[in-house]
Structure formats: C-alpha cells, structure tokens
Amino acid sequence: MFVDFYQRDQPGTYRDIEYPHHTLAKLTSPFKHITINKANNSDLVINTPSLFFPGSVPKIQLIPVEPMLFKRADSDAFTSFAEENGRIAFAFNPLWPKIGGYERVYWYETVWVQLGIAAFCAIVFLSACIVWPIGYIFNLIRGQASLNRQKKTFAWVIAGVLGTLNLVFLIGLPLSLWLTGWKLAYGVPTIVVALLCLPLITSILSLVLLLFTILIWKNNYWSWIGKTHYSLITLAAWIFIPFLAYWNLLGFQV
C-alpha cells in the first residue's frame, strides 16, 4: 500500500515556507531547515540540524497511515505530503502541534552545498590576494621586460582587488549582521549598506577578469599554471554572482 510512495523522493531537506523570500533576511532560512529520511521499515524520521536549528528538538518518527499521510509516533498529530510537477514538494505539520508548511529544497539549496560554494570562493579569492603582490616582487627580481611586466601586474591587480573586496564582504557582512542584528528593526545600518556596495563593484570587475582570461589563453601569456590559476579566479568570481543573487545580496534588497 505504501511501497510506491515510500520509494519516491519525499526524503530530503525541507524548509519552513514562512521565510523572507525577497530580502537579505533570507540568510535566516537555514535555521528553519529539517531533514526527512527513510527508516529501516516504511517509517520516516524527521531530524533538525543541530548546527542551525534553534533549541533542541528530538527526532520525530512518522508512521504511514495511507499514501501521503503519516502519523507522528509521539502524538496524535499527522504529517502529510503534497506533490508539485510529479515531485514530492511539500510536507505539512511535520514538527509542531500547530499547522505548518515546509517546502522541499533542491540539492543546490542545501546548507552544506551553499557553504561549500562560499568556502570554494573564499579560498580562491584569498589566493588572488596573496599571489599578485608576490608575483609582482618576483617579476622585479627576475627583471622581466617592462611592458610584459606591466600587463601581467595590471591583470593580477584586478584579480587581487576583486578577491580582497569579496573576502571583505564574505567576512564583514555576517559579522556586521551579528553585531547589529537587533538594529535592523530600526533600519539598515550604514556599515551593511556600504558592504552591499562591494558585490556591485566586484560584479563589474568580473567582466574585466573574463576579458583578461580570454586574452591570456588566446595569446598564450604566462605559464600553464599561471593561466589556470587566473582562470580559476575568474570562475570563482562568476560563480559568486549567482550565489549572491540567490541570497538576495546582489544589490540593496533590504
């Protein structure tokens, strides 16, 4: 009776549908994530990630009653699921006595994927900040031709500036929100507004990086390692743009 439903894709990560969709407050949505996994039998188990979920919520076991409908083992409450476009997309009343709706997130929206993207970009941006001054000093010591050195230096300066600004944003925004979070009720602090300007600048610099990347491969500038590293920085810069847009951080969506 329950086999067809149980074998489908209802297990996964879900988030409370009552989260800020169109402002930077979307950053709080991971605090409302839950995971629904299959148990050894036809039951399901609800977990709340301890890293993000406020308070201690024990695991909740769901016992199948009929397709799309489960009973919570610890109470008389019921949890139901709903489809959208042939996919299990919603879970209703999974945690609390009151009715609440949770939507199933796609794999790229899960916390660890998003943190992985942020970590990848941060590491690459940090490498851009470190390499260009070291490369400039190294070129001076080697005594490369002035024109070639200037071209290479300018390209790495752009990469270094972009990497530095994005790192300042990645570190500064969460820190400033943590320090001034309660003040958001009275308006957006000046420091947050200033930080939100940085992605607009780096998005423009990403275009410049892309042009330099095309040129260095077309004209075979630098070593293979240098070209690959510069291309990796450009890739990170372009990945960072949709990452920012997803979290409503590209512009002033406050």
Distance CA 186, CA 56 (A): 30
Task: Give tens-digit pLDDT for 54-89.
Answer: 555 668 888 888 888 999 888 888 999 988 887 888
The pLDDT value recorded for residue 3 is 44
pLDDT category, 144, cuts 50, 70, 90? low
As a whole number, mean pLDDT of residues 179-196 equals 77
pLDDT averaged over every residue in the chain = 83
pLDDT category, 242, cuts 50, 70, 90? very high
Q: Where are the domains of the chain?
A: 3-105, 111-246
* Residue 146, pLDDT above cutoff 50: no
Backbone phi, psi, residue 42, to 5°: -90, 5
Which of the pair, 242 or 153, is modelled with greater confidence? Answer: 242
Which of the pair, 88 or 245, is modelled with greater confidence? Answer: 245
As a whole number, mean pLDDT of residues 41-53 equals 72
**pLDDT above 90: percentage of residues in the chain:** 37
Distance CA 225, CA 239 (A): 21
List the single range of 25-34, 43-52, 138-147, 163-172 with lowest mean pLDDT: 138-147
Structure-block tokens of residue 41: 């039998």
pTM of the model: 0.83
Place of tokens 């009776």: 1
Q: Which residues contact 95 (CB under 8 A, 6 or more apart)?
A: 34, 46, 48, 57, 60
Distance CA 37, CA 44 (A): 6
Task: Give tens-digit pLDDT for 125-143.
Answer: 999 988 766 666 666 566 5
Which of the pair, 93 or 48, is modelled with greater confidence? Answer: 93
As a whole number, mean pLDDT of residues 219-247 equals 93
* Residue 171, pLDDT above cutoff 50: yes
